[in-house]
């Protein structure tokens, strides 16, 4: 049976209790497309406005009159929406359950406490001269103070730029130079499983590498207790500063289109782009998607495992859940520490009902065996989510059957740093699920598939995934480079937002992400998504993970090359070639059988867990001298190991 043939209809109990039923989805979706102004004017009431907006949507993707503005004449404060407005009714409600790296290190933070922490932080920033429109860089562990700092920026109208705590000093320096940050907020160190990472030391090193020397102050949080070298006039301890200020701070009234944050993301070419998001539209979209996609209700305990260094952390750890007044778990550690049961243990400990994580984590835990899961209970779970990469059907079934005890809908959510929030996803209670598919568009999203000539494909088909009309959460620019914004996203296909992803639409209108457009491989005229082949390979019981790339082939045009990681203790001989090839033949077709399969101990991944196929392509072609900088990989040494194995296999 082909893995995608399975369909999971909406269970009876779900449709009667969720916010949105199938019928409501259809009606609301139609309205959101036909009358976007009416629809968004109403939905934007999910947040509080200081001055109500009169105009709703003012957007065009055409070069002549290119503009993206939402609710432009309205004013609000994002921090006040996430914190202050919950105080009258919910001041004692828990905003965050902090689960530290070490089991047992747990802190509960109520909305009232959050308010005072944020105000104090805002006052410290003000004391150091931070003003509306200034950029503040955060280089932080996943601790509550990271969130206080983000909200403090939003409160006083400063723009935060969070750099993931796993990035190197050079990467941090490049980002500091690009945005001209005057202030850096960091911590003495971060704890990730058995490792301690010296953040402040890395900031010190980064400051020796910056070209523009814009940074004047480094504010350091005491967290691990590691000693830090404190430079006079530059370095201050947060706890000493905090003692000198009040815990009340009025918020700035901001325009809906005032910048909220920038977040650097790598594109296919050039240096990382500072993706700019603004206030009103972004918050509306983050809050609305958080409510409907996860079917969030007041008493849920919500846990998104993302780090605040990524967009998922911004929209679905901080802004969406807080705007909705949710109680969230935030987790400092890693899924495998002290052992591979940690996620499931934390779910039991805090009675988590909504759990949102990444396929890379799911697959890695899957490879450790089922016992880690089955020794826990997980009966509090109601909705499961996935983001960041295709969730292959084998991992989907494991997540669904084992983790979710076959009772929790899985929302496989497709979106990007650029989109601000989720665009394609099932809604629990409204849509049947197809393992491997990201289902349908969220309200207001008009996806289209374009062929090579840039023409829209009707009905079932495969093509470039583009979006036809603006939505409130969309990025508003590349920081200080508006030309690059237009060129990167709106020039390839005139009049559309180009996602650079490929997708297939089946005859029921469900979307299947086939991978980045450069990951579509054409073998003898067959369009093959690397994700599809990987899904087939991963179906093998002894396979933990795989990555498939295309390399030029004299007869077929392109040929597939597969890198496969086996589960611990797997029998290499039994898995190799014949077995795997058969499986691919069965799942997709003989045309999708890779020319080469190499068993490897690991894959080159970015720190957020994305496989760097560009590097694999160079390795497969024997062009290791062209790989270039590998410092952004989580394990740079893996590149040499794989190269050796590929050479040996040829």
Q: What is the DSSP pairing of strand 511-516 with strand 497-505?
A: antiparallel
Q: Which 187-216 positions form the footprint of ligand 7RM (CB under 6 A)?
A: none
Q: Nearer to ligand 7RM by C-beta: 255 or 359? A: 359
Q: Nearer to ligand 7RM by C-beta: 57 or 505? A: 505
Residue pair 524/557 in contact by the 8 Å Cβ criterion: yes
Q: What is the DSSP pairing of strand 477-478 with strand 273-278?
A: antiparallel
Q: What is the DSSP pairing of strand 327-331 with strand 301-304?
A: parallel
Task: Kindly state the smallest distance separating residue 572's Cβ from ligand 7RM, in Å.
Answer: 29
Residue whose C-alpha is closest to residue 616's, from 552, 565, 547: 547
Residue number, nearest CB to ligand 7RM: 417
Site string for ligand 7RM, 388-427 (x = CB under 6 A): xxx---------------------xxxxxx----------
**Backbone region of residue 59 per phi and psi (left: phi > 0; alpha: psi in -120 to 50; beta: other values):** beta
Q: Which 434-463 positions form the footprint of ligand 7RM (CB under 6 A)?
A: 438
Task: Kindly state the smallest distance separating residue 4's Cβ from ligand 7RM, in Å.
Answer: 14
Task: Kindly state the smallest distance separating residue 499's Cβ from ligand 7RM, in Å.
Answer: 6
Residue pair 366/133 in contact by the 8 Å Cβ criterion: no
Q: What residue has token string 């370095």?
A: 235
Site string for ligand 7RM, 239-278 (x = CB under 6 A): --------------------------x-------------
> Is residue 387 near ligand 7RM by the rule CB under 6 A?
yes
Listed ranges 71-79, 102-110, 154-162, 386-394: which one lies at the site for ligand 7RM (CB under 6 A): 386-394
- Residue 263 pairs with which residues in a beta bridge? 275
For residue 15, give every residue at least 6 positions away whose Cβ sits within 8 Å of its Cβ, in sequence order, or none.
Answer: 21, 22, 429, 430
**Residue among 188, 258, 394, 501 that touches ligand 7RM (CB under 6 A):** 501
Q: Nearer to ligand 7RM by C-beta: 238 or 512? A: 512
Q: Nearer to ligand 7RM by C-beta: 412 or 534? A: 412
Task: Kindly state the smallest distance separating residue 511's Cβ from ligand 7RM, in Å.
Answer: 9
Alpha carbon distance 367, 284 (integer Å): 38
Burial class for 222, CB neighbours closer than 10 Å (0-12, 13-18, 19+): middle
Residue whose C-alpha is closest to residue 249's, from 95, 126, 87: 126
Q: Nearer to ligand 7RM by C-beta: 325 or 447? A: 447
> Is residue 300 near ligand 7RM by the rule CB under 6 A?
no
Q: Nearer to ligand 7RM by C-beta: 218 or 438? A: 438
Q: Nearer to ligand 7RM by C-beta: 183 or 603? A: 603
For residue 55, give every residue at least 6 positions away whose Cβ sits within 8 Å of its Cβ, in sequence order, or none.
Answer: 69, 71, 72, 73
Q: What residue has token string 């523009």?
A: 212
Q: Which 503-562 positions form the footprint of ligand 7RM (CB under 6 A)?
A: 513, 516
> Is residue 336 near ligand 7RM by the rule CB under 6 A?
no
Long-range contacts of residues 477-482, Cβ cutoff 8 Å, at least 24 apart: 477/276, 478/273, 478/274, 478/275, 478/276, 479/178, 479/179, 479/262, 479/273, 479/274, 479/275, 479/276, 480/178, 480/179, 480/274, 481/273, 481/274
Q: Nearer to ligand 7RM by C-beta: 134 or 498? A: 498
Q: What residue has token string 């590349």?
A: 478
Residue whose C-alpha is closest to residue 40's, from 457, 469, 343: 469
Task: Kindly state the smallest distance separating residue 484's Cβ from ligand 7RM, in Å.
Answer: 16
Q: Nearer to ligand 7RM by C-beta: 362 or 365? A: 362
Task: Kindly state the smallest distance separating residue 501's Cβ from ligand 7RM, in Å.
Answer: 5
Q: Nearer to ligand 7RM by C-beta: 15 or 474? A: 474
Task: Kindly state the smallest distance separating residue 265's Cβ from ligand 7RM, in Å.
Answer: 5
Task: Kindly state the smallest distance separating residue 416's Cβ from ligand 7RM, in Å.
Answer: 4
Alpha carbon distance 512, 68 (integer Å): 28
Binding residues vs ligand 7RM (CB under 6 A): 265, 311-312, 387-390, 412-417, 438, 499, 501, 513, 516
């Amino acid at each position: 049976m082909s893995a995608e043939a399975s369909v999971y209809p909406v269970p009876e109990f779900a449709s009667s209790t969720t916010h949105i039923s199938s019928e409501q989805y259809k009606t609301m979706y139609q309205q959101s497309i036909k009358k976007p102004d009416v629809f968004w004017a109403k939905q934007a009431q999910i947040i509080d406005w200081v001055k109500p907006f009169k105009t709703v949507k003012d957007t065009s993707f055409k070069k002549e009159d290119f503009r993206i503005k939402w609710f432009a004449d309205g004013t609000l404060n994002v921090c006040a929406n996430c914190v202050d407005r919950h105080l009258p009714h919910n001041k004692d409600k828990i905003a965050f359950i902090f689960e530290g790296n070490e089991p047992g290190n747990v802190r509960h933070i109520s909305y009232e406490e959050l308010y005072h922490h944020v105000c104090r932080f805002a006052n410290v920033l003000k004391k150091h001269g931070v003003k509306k429109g200034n950029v503040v860089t955060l280089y932080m562990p996943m601790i509550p103070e990271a969130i206080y700092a983000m909200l403090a920026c939003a409160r006083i109208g400063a723009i935060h730029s969070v750099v993931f705590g796993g990035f190197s000093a050079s990467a941090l320096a490049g980002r500091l130079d690009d945005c001209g940050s005057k202030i850096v907020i960091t911590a003495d160190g971060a704890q990730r499983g058995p490792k301690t990472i010296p953040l402040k030391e890395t900031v010190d090193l980064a400051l020796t590498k910056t070209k523009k020397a814009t940074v004047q102050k480094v504010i350091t949080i005491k967290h691990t207790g590691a000693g830090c070298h404190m430079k006079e006039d530059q370095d201050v301890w947060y706890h000493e500063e905090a003692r000198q200020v009040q815990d009340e701070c009025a918020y700035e009234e901001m325009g809906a289109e005032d910048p909220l944050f920038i977040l650097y993301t790598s594109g296919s070419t050039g240096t990382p782009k500072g993706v700019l998001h603004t206030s009103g539209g972004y918050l509306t979209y983050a809050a609305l998607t958080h409510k409907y996609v996860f079917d969030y209700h007041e008493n849920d305990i919500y846990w998104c495992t993302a780090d605040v260094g990524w967009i998922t952390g911004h929209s679905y750890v901080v802004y969406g859940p807080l705007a909705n007044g949710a109680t969230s778990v935030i987790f400092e550690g890693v899924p495998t520490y002290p052992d591979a049961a940690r996620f499931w243990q934390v779910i039991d400990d805090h009675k988590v009902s909504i759990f949102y994580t990444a396929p890379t984590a799911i697959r890695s835990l899957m490879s450790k065996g089922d016992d880690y899961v089955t020794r826990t209970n997980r009966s509090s779970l109601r909705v499961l989510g996935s983001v960041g990469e295709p969730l292959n059907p084998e991992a989907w079934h494991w997540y669904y059957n084992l983790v979710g005890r076959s009772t929790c809908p899985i929302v496989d959510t497709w979106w990007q740093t650029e989109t601000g929030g989720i665009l394609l996803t099932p809604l629990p209670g409204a849509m049947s699920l197809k393992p491997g598919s990201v289902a349908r568009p969220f309200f207001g999203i008009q996806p289209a598939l374009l062929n090579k000539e840039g023409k829209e494909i009707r009905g079932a088909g495969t093509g470039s995934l583009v979006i036809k009309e603006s939505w409130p959460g969309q990025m508003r620019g590349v920081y200080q480079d508006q030309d690059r914004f237009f060129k990167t996203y709106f020039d390839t296909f005139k009049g559309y937002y180009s996602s650079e992803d490929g997708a297939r639409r089946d005859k029921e209108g469900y979307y299947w992400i086939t991978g980045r457009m450069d990951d579509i491989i054409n073998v003898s005229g067959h369009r093959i998504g690397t994700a599809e082949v990987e899904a087939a390979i991963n179906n093998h019981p002894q396979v933990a993970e795989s990555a498939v790339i295309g390399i030029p082939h004299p007869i077929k045009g392109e040929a597939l090359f597969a890198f496969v990681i086996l589960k611990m203790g797997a029998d290499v001989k039994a898995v190799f070639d014949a077995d795997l090839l058969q499986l691919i033949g069965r799942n997709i077709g003989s045309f999708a059988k890779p020319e080469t399969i190499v068993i490897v101990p690991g894959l080159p991944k970015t720190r957020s867990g994305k496989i760097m196929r560009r590097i694999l392509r160079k390795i497969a072609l024997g062009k290791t001298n062209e790989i270039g900088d590998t410092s952004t990989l989580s394990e740079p040494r893996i590149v040499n190991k794989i190269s050796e194995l590929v050479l040996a296999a040829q």
